[in-house]
Amino acid sequence: MIRWKRALSLGFLSWLIPFVISFLGFPIKRINAPLFSTLMTLVVLVTAGVLFGLYFRERAALASEAVLVGVLWLVANLIFDYPMFAYGPMKMDAAKYYSEIGLTYLIFPVFAFFAARLVSGQTKTSATA
């Protein structure tokens, strides 16, 4: 069962942390856009790992719940980004936004699924050993 309060607060952090880091690192984009893109993908991946660790702290990670939380965070990131990129200072059309930023947020449900499967597989292995 999803712990909604924790999922929503961590979902906000899943957007805020990469956003702040991207803002601070934005000068890199002017010098080397591919490097900036790679660094931001790594930031989102590390953020996902840390936040999923916090979400599932003190209990087993179920793949179904992890995917639902990952999808929730994906949607939250798209919603939080929308005003900034549709109307705000970045002004991107939808195609450009999804090709440069939006698809990166698929990291949340994909990472969640495989991490939960890995953990559940290790639990089964250690129980039989």
In the chain, where the domains are located: 4-128
Query: pLDDT at residue 69 above 90?
Result: yes
Q: What is the predicted pLDDT for the residue at 122?
A: 65
Full-model pTM? 0.87
Whether the predicted pLDDT of 45 surpasses 80 = yes
Backbone region of residue 2 per phi and psi (left: phi > 0; alpha: psi in -120 to 50; beta: other values): beta
> Does residue 85 surpass a pLDDT of 90?
no
Residue 75 CB contacts under 8 Å (≥ 6 apart), including other chains: none
Q: Please say if the pLDDT value at position 128 is more than 90.
A: no
- Whether the CA torsion 87, 89, 91, 92 is positive or negative: it is negative
